[in-house]
Amino acid sequence: MKSTTLRRSNITKEKVQMMEALNRYNREHQDEDFYRNQSKSRELDALWQSFGVKQQRNEKAPQVYFVTGFICGVIITLLITTFVSILINISTPKEEPIIQPTKNITTEGGKFRFIPADNSAKTTTAPAVMNEEYTVKEGDTLESIVIRFYGSFDMNKVTLIQEANKMANPNALSIGQKLIIPINK
């Protein structure tokens, strides 16, 4: 190094000599460390190969996990669906049809005896129309009232109720209004 460079950097000659000696030492011993490290790695490689341990691959492909998860999901969904449907079938009461007798039948001593209809009550006039009175509640429509009394919606039944109550507009119902519902027509 030049002396002018030394003055500018405020480095003394002793420090420069020490740095040069350190640099020489590194160059001399650098080769030794390199060869020492090379020989150790070769020895370790030889030992590793003679030991006979092969690298094991523990990783599975993501597709394996996806397919396994999908299959498990389908099976669990089927099990839950089956369980819920069984619970619904168990908890739902079975409706048994009610058979109403069409004729008056009495039994005496294990024998059936038919009671004939009263012929004196028959007249040639039309059967009497039975009417029922209904009070309109909040949320009622004429259609819902028809379904309630007749079991299903029928436009003919709507017109019957309109005629019986002399209604011009079937949508003009008010809460508390009394309606006459013809039953046997």
* 13 torsion bin: left (phi>0), alpha (psi -120 to 50), beta (else): alpha
Task: Tokens 């449907």: give the residue.
Answer: 85
Q: Residue 149 has what pLDDT?
A: 86
CA-wise closest residue to 145 among 94, 183, 112: 183
Per-residue tokens: 136:
């309109």
CA-wise closest residue to 179 among 148, 134, 141: 134
User: What is the three-class DSSP state of 40?
Assistant: helix
Q: Are 116 and 107 in contact (CB under 8 A)?
A: no
Tell me which residues of the chain have a pLDDT lower than 70. Answer: 1-10, 30-40, 46-58, 94-129, 185
- Show me where the domains of the chain are located: 3-50
Q: Residue 139 has what pLDDT?
A: 87
Q: Residue 183 has what pLDDT?
A: 81
